[in-house]
Amino acid sequence: MMRTAGLLLLALVGCSRPVAHGAERPNILWITSEDNSPYLGCYGDALAHTPNLDRLAEQGVRYRNAFAQAPVCSTARTTLITGMYGCSLGVQHHRSRVRIPQEFRLYPEYLREAGYYCTNHVKTDYNVANDRQPWNASSQRAHYKNRKRGQPFFAVFNLTTSHESQVAPRDGVNVESLRVRPAQVVLPPYHPDTPTIRADWANYYDRMTAMDRQVGELLQELELAGLADETIVFYYSDHGGALPRGKRNLHDSGTRVPLIIRTPEKWSHLAPAAPGARVEQPVGFVDVIASLFSLAAVPLPANYHGRAFLGEQKAPPREHVFLFRGRMDERYDTVRALRDTQFRYVRNYSPHRPWGQHYSYPFQVLPSMRSWHEEFLAGRCNDAQAAYWRPKPSEELYDTASDAFEIVNLVAEPQHAARLNEMRRALRDEMIAMRDTGFIPEGMFDRLAGDKTIYEYAQSEAYPIEHIITLADQATSRDPAALPDLLAALDDEHPVVRYWGATGCLILQGQAGPAKDKLLAALQDESADVRIVAAEALGYLGEHKAALAALADVLTTGNEYEVLAALNTVDFMHDAGHAALDQVQAMLRGKPFAEPSSRIADYLLSQDR
């Protein structure tokens, strides 16, 4: 269990020796790439051409079960920079600006205090609103060469070559001239076989090779500077792959990352294993930060959530890694998961939403995303391919050893019942221990927290986390037997409890008929988020006019996240046939929506009648 709020603010965990200075500590170089799974030769990908990273893996160790805690850049990076699970701080939503306690310092601040010269080249993309600069330098010019003579450095170089925006072949590129021909690509079973999808995959392998060349250049620069024997090198990606069902998705395709660590002979006593070894231990980004502190001989702050997996503060290994996702761009979807060395357990807290919502950015930059969606609409997808565009199961369990692409859901299999119950309990324990803020609608953050941060609110007794998780589990179970508890929740004094009561009724759709009167009353709830969910639920009970009137009011009076939630609901009500397109467009026309709400509004306004 995690430490109490008071200890989080005050204590520090001791380490095996005091902070050292000067030449007693290694330099540390982090090379990060964007949006790529382990599509590397050293991870067994037969189509990969990544000689520099393969050589680095021979000289170091590669982790076979390393995971970004979240499957998108800003939430993954925020988990890194804070050393804490983003959903404990309220920073689980992509491109949000959330205040965190002033006492919680960002990890480069501790390293600088210990004497390290800390540089970031160049991406930040953090979700925290605290405007402080933790780096000595963070820019295109940031470089370890600018440190003082004899000063140890910690340097990050971020490579964007494999980013989602680079997946599609550029205009004029003949895909048949690429190193990997489209016909050679072995498609994952969830992708339909179209020329467009094959072209994106083939080009992506070229982007991975280009990224590998950049890694080689950075390693050569370190050699030429005479620093390779003094520097521990990390290579990892910020989350999983850029092709559809990778980024933004909580399965291995979106969270499993390559992680290679090379430790020079001088510092070999800090290494986890001999050069060339493959490490099976599951590790997450919070553990990468703990390991960084361990290597630098810096005590780990008590509010940090990680366990060091190398160095002198090495801790007992984890049994599993905790994973989360919240809003991505303009679309909401709350999911939590655990991954151990073999199984992944997923709890979908928005099972009424598909994995493949219409996100404007990937639909814009990924021809493969558009192609897949077209195949689905045309009825040319098999069940494994169509599942991405359909509502999700409440729970998922996969044996990744026999089902690497996580296609066969084992939740209903009796032989896996014990494993399911074990991982179900472990996930609940993790969420309660950190007092997960992800069950609070984003629009309620400021309304509930007031002058406090949402973290401080969630750590208080005002947030009944155990009751809320129990109710959220019932609400998302699709079990009509939960209806009496959902009805009682609609009368609760706490708005988050009422929200999950209404959400359960929405998920039950027509089976929530006995809740109709309470849902109509909920259209007057003091919380806009409760009104929004009640309105969508009432769409399935025939109360379209009242529902749309309530949503129109939120679009005028709500805060930015309440407006965004209302727009999501309007879109799904239109998809369900509960709101005609001319009604929807009349609600939106002429309103000045800000980002990211404007993306949904523009999408709906662009649809043909």
Q: How many residues does the chain have?
A: 609
Map residue 571 onto helix, strand or coil: helix
Task: Choose, from 15, 42, 73, 505, the residue flagged as catalytic.
Answer: 73
Neighbouring C-beta atoms of residue 560, cutoff 10 Å:
14
Q: Could you give the CA distance from residue 217 to residue 205 in angstroms, rounded to a whole number?
A: 19
Question: Assign residue 542 a region: left if phi > 0, alpha if psi is -120 to 50, beta otherwise?
Answer: left
From residue 491, how far is each of 350, 499, 510, 534, 547 by CA, in Å? 22, 10, 21, 13, 19
Distances (CA, A) of 386 to 123, 249, 380: 35, 15, 9
Q: How far apart are CA 240 and CA 249, in angstroms?
A: 8
User: Residue 181's CB: how many other CB atoms inside 10 A?
Assistant: 13
Q: Both tokens of residue 387?
A: 């599942």
- On whether the CB atoms of residues 505 and 523 are closer than 8 A, the answer is no
Among 459, 474, 468, 475, CA closest to 507: 475
CB burial readout 319-330, b (16+ within 10 A) else e: ebbbbbbbbbbb
One-letter amino acid identity for 59? Answer: Q
Q: CB neighbours of 600 closer than 8 A, spacing ≥ 6?
A: 330, 360, 564, 567, 568, 570, 571
Determine the Cα–Cα distance for residues 505 and 227; give it in Å rounded to an integer.
61
**Residue with tokens 């050679």, as numbered in its chain:** 184
**Is 15 one of the annotated active-site residues of the chain?**
no
d(CA 440, CA 260): 36
Task: Give the tokens for residue 371.
Answer: 């192609």
Catalytic residues: 73
